[in-house]
Structure 1
């Protein structure tokens, strides 16, 4: 029997692992525990009371288990995603998504997500891997303040002159970001480490010279004291954090890079201390010709300084990976001009409320999403859509926050403010996606888990082999090579290989108008072999216009009034086209009763006591309307011209039709051609009739299409393809596409579409253009190739470096690897991974 239980008290993946391990110690049960959602699925041979499970968990920590009374929905490829509501259109892979919580702005997280969603209030080290915690960016634009260079107490919100001395005010330097603070702290410690390490290194190198000139000043034992004193600031201040991290990793048994560094340098330093104070405990082979023990202060300090250099370079490079979010935040203005009683007042964008009237002056950035209420202008939307040509906007047209006004002024109504604006959603999506985990990361995680213990074992084996079989002084050779093995191994490079590429790739996509919800979508986009696409608003412009209204009784105005009045309650693009056409003909709209939208078929209602139906052939069959052969022939003729035709029935008699044209996007043909070239099968599924669908498919050279598709038909087609082993992407923009978008392996929403469609998708194309799918595919391919390069570098580096450090080349070529060279190579291994990831910033999509 199998039961599902809810677990309370789990905060990270470590908790999840502990709970799962504890439950599996109970005889007769097999447990699998997930963190998101926090549930345990337990299979038991015979019933085990919940109290027994709770008793076991109490020994593991503060966890509570109870039998789940709610049905846990399994989002699998067989999920019946038929609901149209926002709440039921989730991807079947959402449970795998790990991201920093939305409300975590300003808190800290591990860049390798060792503890899943867990965040911290203060800066510090990850308790699992030891890496510096990274601050979640503040996703708000901050206002620039101005101050006097001579009188810093003078601060104001706008440029001008100092009221005290008259000097021009200058922008205040913003507070350093957390990345910059970390970098500056490491840079300061690096300077201190260099000041003391260089003399130690010089002393050690000169000692190797023939007729050491330093011995004329002092004997060797006194120079050893000098090295000890110089090493103290390096070990106990500049690089002490490495030993703290190593200690934490050992007591928590979360072994990592710092475990190896701490053990290696710690052993070398302690060895040197014992050699200074108790030289007689060492055999002669550990001693120099002067009778002193061979000490390793220079190796300790040089290794630690090189590791610190690696951390410094890594901090510098890591700050660049979040550049996309910083650039997006720069798009947001900090102020707006509020219009109150005809007067203008400058306010912060954080004070804007829905319904406020805002004046946008020439050259200003638009503060929030809204609609023009007075005036017109051309607006540069390139930063959002990627389209370089300014877009002409007039009254009632929508405008987007962050876009730049042209040379005219206008007044707009604020409709979406704060986190509701498209720009804010883009920033939040990029922030979440850049910190999510790709499935390929599991490979690196699995290896890293066993990596450190294996390296420690190899280090111990190296020492004993050299001590027994190596040349004299065998113990010295064994000691040095064992430390080199510990130092050169770098699990950090494995951990960084995936998240760095994902972070840069997601940012690059955002800058190109391709918004990726999580890393899993970014990875899977590279695997798709079938693209399902809607027609209206996806292949076509989504801006349909009425071309013809035919009435069999020649009373077109009355018929137009009836169908326009009926469509005023519908949000469908075709309905809006009819309403707009009626307004252009100055036809007034009248009251409609019993309005009903029939999904995938059309609309019905009662107008002037007559039952009116407007829709496709299936709707005519539903209302049992009689369609004459003459009318049917006229409709077919229009459809063969690629027009979308809706039947009009009054009291169960078809009395005419409305012919609507929707131009195919110029880029659709090029995009589909490129996708076909890449071996992706493109299938058009449309609710339109077969004649119109064929006309569009012929123009686009599509061999696969289906017409008259209801939402459930699209859903079932995707399921069918998935059952054949196909990886399916679905592109759509309407509410009726939401179930199919949720079911697809990759749902792609047009940014010009509905909120429900966008929420259901894993990728959103801001511009609403099929060319964005080509960009997303190319981006996915490049990111995955970059990740594989990083993993290869990390794997190859360790596979090659560890044996060389152990001395396998010595019997053949006499080559040994100094621990200091090993430290340098280890430091740059992580940096090389990050630098390789940063190459994605120059990718041309």
Structure 2
């Protein structure tokens, strides 16, 4: 998730990253310095004064965090170049793995997005997954395995089930695919120019002959097909072994057939009749088709993986509502801050003013107002005293409380909400079944058409009929890659549930999301769910006979 404005400041200058605020002030975007969200100053959101500046916040929680430690939220370090960036007016911002990063320039942001692992080196290593963690495919949630691997149906990398911890680290598949995409793109562009120039009215005949041009295309396409596209061939082979033909089957067949045919044409052009040769005497090849297909598929995969990472970040943002530590009261009355995951049922905890409630529990001592808007939607704090229930993730406003932990870890209300959103992202909408059925039959149908084309040209085509048959079959496979067929619906669901989680809308399952498209009336249960709790005068209407 990236927001931008046109004002950012640095603690020190630099030629590669320096920037000036030249845009009109009206175009500036004000950013919450705590969470990084953009805030409309006219929306009546919380504000705070510090150092002669007015800071705007998305919620009372963020303002409370800022007021507790304002100096911690003034600037952030660009992870690429190391410059200091003003958090409240940063133009370039990226949320990665649930954590916000600020950048001094678009160049630094692009470098980070391409290789986040490179710039996160030296940070704490991700914690290993808990023992007994199971893994599932984001596109086929019925696939469940006890260890990481690839989905036997679609070939995608399996992801851990359950609630994300925020410590998983960069998605290795995204890092790998991003690198392969850039290699494919860099090599495919000149390859496409060389191959398509004659069709655009340009010609390289005065520079290189047809034979040299073919060898140049072979040199450019080989790294793309033999190295970059290796994961595609692996997934395609797995789909055949598992008798689950999918788009990877067609991509593998199409790219592989185009490349192998072109290699044969480049190495043994004499076996092709004169009917296949162009006016320059060279045999046409499909190197550019194979390479460009690989580059475009990688582009789609990278965009998909980034969307999945953003929706995962939305879930982790919900988890961030809970504090990382709790104030534990010992048997002797001493108080110590302990990690949240070490809190056990029955522990006595101190909730100080401005603190978030760490776990679900019951008030033992004290009186305070608790902001429960993250659960109820009500903007007004609720008075809590001895015997009242507390929900983890809610915010203590003013008084001090002592509570007893009743539900911890995955049993808390907040964790159950997060798991609900995670399950919704893994669930399948009815329309996905239609897409899967179409994919299941479409792939064999395309292969069958290619076989029929091969047989027809081999039996009925002109001499040499075998060459005509091979070219016809390859052409069918190349044009039939259904790259969007198995991705559009799952990606829509994941993006919608992630966006909803950011906005406080929890979707129980994908089927409910699909049915929601037909909703024309929304009934709200109580006042405060959609209102801000801040009434204001909008119109003055005089009574009859009054001015």
SS at match of 1:437: coil
Aligned match of 2:158 in 127, 133, 138? 133
Distance in 2 separating the partners of 1:498 and 1:296: 31
**Which residue number corresponds to residue 176 of structure 1?**
169
> Offset at 1:197?
2.0
Correspondence 1:402 to 2:393 = yes
Distance in 1 separating the partners of 2:201 and 2:278: 14
> Offset at 1:453?
1.0
Distance in 1 separating the partners of 2:198 and 2:513: 56
Rg larger for:
1
**Which residue number corresponds to residue 373 of structure 2?**
382
Contact 1:385 1:513 in 2 (8 A): no
Deviations 1:535-570 (A, max 9, x none): xxxxxxxxxxxxxxxxxxxxxxxxxxxxxxxxxxxx
**Which residue number corresponds to residue 281 of structure 1?**
271
Contact 1:372 1:395 in 2 (8 A): yes
TM-score by length of 2: 0.63
**Which residue number corresponds to residue 183 of structure 2?**
192
SS at match of 2:329: strand
> Offset at 1:269?
0.9
SS at match of 2:327: strand
Contact 1:127 1:248 in 2 (8 A): yes
Contact 1:257 1:490 in 2 (8 A): yes
After TM superposition, list the pairs within 5 Å mapping 1:137-286 onto structure 2.
138-140=163-165, 176-178=169-171, 181-206=172-197, 212-213=203-204, 215-216=206-207, 218-286=208-276
**Which residue number corresponds to residue 336 of structure 1?**
326
Q: 1:495 to 1:223 in 2, by over 3 A?
A: closer
**Which residue number corresponds to residue 145 of structure 2?**
119
Contact 1:385 1:512 in 2 (8 A): no
SS at match of 2:336: strand
How many residues align? The count is 400
TM-align CA RMSD: 3.9
> Offset at 1:204?
1.9
SS at match of 1:232: helix
Deviations 1:451-495 (A, max 9, x none): 111122344556788999999x99999877765653454556343
**Which residue number corresponds to residue 287 of structure 2?**
297
Bigger mean CA offset, 259-268 vs 435-444: 435-444
**Which residue number corresponds to residue 427 of structure 2?**
436
Bigger mean CA offset, 457-466 vs 131-140: 457-466
> Offset at 1:438?
3.3
> Offset at 1:249?
2.1
Distance in 2 separating the partners of 1:195 and 1:498: 30
Q: 1:254 to 1:272 in 2, by over 3 A?
A: same
Contact 1:285 1:476 in 2 (8 A): no
Instruction: Return 5+ residue gaps in structure 1 as ranges.
Output: 1-101, 143-173, 530-672, 676-768, 776-845
Correspondence 1:109 to 2:136 = yes
After TM superposition, list the pairs within 5 Å mapping 1:13-162 onto structure 2.
107-113=134-140, 116-119=142-145, 121-123=147-149, 125-136=150-161, 138-140=163-165
Contact 1:516 1:522 in 2 (8 A): yes
> Offset at 1:207?
5.4
> Offset at 1:183?
2.0
Q: 1:245 to 1:338 in 2, by over 3 A?
A: same
**Which residue number corresponds to residue 338 of structure 2?**
347
SS at match of 1:264: helix
Correspondence 1:327 to 2:353 = no
Contact 1:109 1:133 in 2 (8 A): yes
SS at match of 1:301: helix
Contact 1:200 1:227 in 2 (8 A): yes
Q: 1:213 to 1:424 in 2, by over 3 A?
A: closer
**Which residue number corresponds to residue 63 of structure 2?**
none
Q: 1:339 to 1:107 in 2, by over 3 A?
A: same
Deviations 1:561-593 (A, max 9, x none): xxxxxxxxxxxxxxxxxxxxxxxxxxxxxxxxx
